[in-house]
Structure 1
Amino acid sequence: MKKGNQRVIKGWIFYDWANSVYNLVISSAIFPVFYANVTESHYLKTVGRDELLPNENVMVDFFGISLSNSVLFSYVLAASFLLVSILSPLLSGIADVTGSKKRFLQFFCYLGALSSISLFWFNPAQIELGMLSIFLASMGFWNSLVFYNAYLPEIAEPKYHDNISARGFSMGYFGSMILLVICLSIIMFIDPAYTKYSFILVGLWWMGFAQVTFRRLPYNIHKRDVKSGYIFKGVKELKNVFNEFRQTKRLQRYLLSFFFFNTGVQTVMLMAVVFAKKEIDWGAAGGDTGLIIAILLIQILGAGGAYLMSYISSLMGNLKTLIFVVMGWMALCTWAYWIETPTEFYFLAAGIGLVMGGVQALSRSTYSKFLPTTEDTTSYFSFYDVSEKLGIVLGLFFFGLMEYLTGDLRASVLSIITFFGVGLVLLIFVPRKESVKGRRALSASRLKKLRKKERGE
Structure 2
Amino acid sequence: MPAPSNRRSLLAWAIYDWANSAFATVVIAGFFPVFFSQFWASELPDTKSTQWLGYASSAASLMLVLSAPILGALADQLGAKKRFLLGFTLLGLLATGGLYWVGAGQWQMALLLYLAGLLGFFGSNIFNDALITDVAAPRDYERASSLAYALGYLGGGLLFACFVLMVLMPERFGLADEAAAVRLSFLGVALWWAVFTLPLLLLVPESRGLGRRRFRAAVQGAFGELALTFREIRKLPNTFLFLLAYWFYIDGVDTVVFMAVKYGLDLGFPSSSLMVALLITQFVGFPAALVFGRLGVRFGPKPSILLAIGIYVLVIAAASQMSRVEHFYALAIAIGLVQGGIQALSRALFASLIPAGQTAERFGFYNMVGKFAAVLGPFLVGTTAAVGGDPRLALLPILLLFLIGAVLLWRVDVSAGRAAVSALAGADHRA
Q: TM-score range by the shorter chain?
A: over 0.9
Instruction: Name the structure 1 match of 2:300.
Output: 317
Contact conserved, 1:249 with 1:438, CA < 8 A, in 2? Answer: no
Partner amino acid, structure 1, of 2:326: T
* 1:294 equivalenced with 2:277 (yes/no): yes
Aligned mates of 1:441, 1:230 — CA distance in 2: 24
Aligned mates of 1:198, 1:89 — CA distance in 2: 33
Deviations 1:345-403 (A, max 9, x none): 1111111110112111111111112222x211111111110111011101111111211
Instruction: Name the structure 2 match of 1:235.
Output: 223
The normalised TM-score by structure 2 is 0.94
* 1:196 equivalenced with 2:196 (yes/no): no
Instruction: Name the structure 2 match of 1:47.
Output: none
Q: Pick one of 382, 399, 410 that aligns with 1:417.
A: 399
Contact conserved, 1:98 with 1:220, CA < 8 A, in 2? Answer: no
Instruction: Name the structure 1 match of 2:103.
Output: 123
Contact conserved, 2:131 with 2:206, CA < 8 A, in 1? Answer: no
Instruction: Name the structure 1 match of 2:289.
Output: 306
SS of equivalent to 2:416 = coil
**Over the residues paired in the alignment, what is the CA RMSD in angstroms?**
1.7
Instruction: Name the structure 2 match of 1:85.
Output: 65
Q: Which has the larger radius of gyration?
A: 1
Residue range with higher mean Cα deviation, 81-90 or 311-320: 311-320
* 1:382 equivalenced with 2:364 (yes/no): yes
Aligned mates of 1:124, 1:392 — CA distance in 2: 28
Instruction: Name the structure 1 match of 2:348.
Output: 365
CA shift for structure 1 position 128: 2.2
Aligned mates of 2:428, 2:233 — CA distance in 1: 10
The normalised TM-score by structure 1 is 0.88
Q: Pick one of 220, 226, 238 that aligns with 2:213.
A: 226
* 1:355 equivalenced with 2:355 (yes/no): no
Partner amino acid, structure 1, of 2:280: L
Aligned length: 421
Aligned mates of 1:439, 1:7 — CA distance in 2: 28
Instruction: Name the structure 2 match of 1:396.
Output: 378
Aligned mates of 2:201, 2:423 — CA distance in 1: 37
Partner amino acid, structure 2, of 1:31: F
Instruction: Name the structure 2 match of 1:50.
Output: none
Contact conserved, 1:26 with 1:199, CA < 8 A, in 2? Answer: yes
Aligned mates of 1:310, 1:14 — CA distance in 2: 17
Instruction: Name the structure 2 match of 1:430.
Output: 412
Aligned mates of 2:129, 2:183 — CA distance in 1: 30
Identity of aligned residues (%): 28
Aligned mates of 2:236, 2:303 — CA distance in 1: 20
Q: Pick one of 310, 327, 330 that aligns with 2:310.
A: 327
CA shift for structure 1 position 39: 4.0
* 1:140 equivalenced with 2:120 (yes/no): yes
SS of equivalent to 1:414 = helix
Contact conserved, 2:70 with 2:223, CA < 8 A, in 1? Answer: yes
Pick closer, same or farther for the CA change 1:234–1:330 going to 2, 3 Å.
same
Instruction: Name the structure 2 match of 1:257.
Output: 245
Pick closer, same or farther for the CA change 1:120–1:166 going to 2, 3 Å.
same
Aligned mates of 1:223, 1:431 — CA distance in 2: 31
Aligned mates of 1:180, 1:439 — CA distance in 2: 43
Aligned mates of 1:206, 1:40 — CA distance in 2: 27
Deviations 1:43-68 (A, max 9, x none): 5xxxxxxxxxxxxx337xxxxxxxx0
Deviations 1:313-367 (A, max 9, x none): 2222111111121111111100110011011111111111101121111111111
Instruction: Name the structure 1 match of 2:8.
Output: 7
SS of equivalent to 1:154 = helix
Pick closer, same or farther for the CA change 1:315–1:346 going to 2, 3 Å.
same
Instruction: Name the structure 2 match of 1:33.
Output: 34
For structure 1, the 5+ residue unaligned runs are 44-56, 60-67, 449-457
Contact conserved, 2:3 with 2:133, CA < 8 A, in 1? Answer: no
Partner amino acid, structure 2, of 1:38: F
SS of equivalent to 1:392 = helix
Aligned mates of 1:146, 1:446 — CA distance in 2: 26
Partner amino acid, structure 1, of 2:343: Q
Q: Pick one of 99, 102, 127 that aligns with 2:79.
A: 99
Aligned mates of 1:16, 1:343 — CA distance in 2: 30
CA shift for structure 1 position 311: 1.6
Residue range with higher mean Cα deviation, 248-257 or 413-422: 248-257
* 1:346 equivalenced with 2:337 (yes/no): no
Contact conserved, 1:97 with 1:233, CA < 8 A, in 2? Answer: yes
CA shift for structure 1 position 141: 0.2
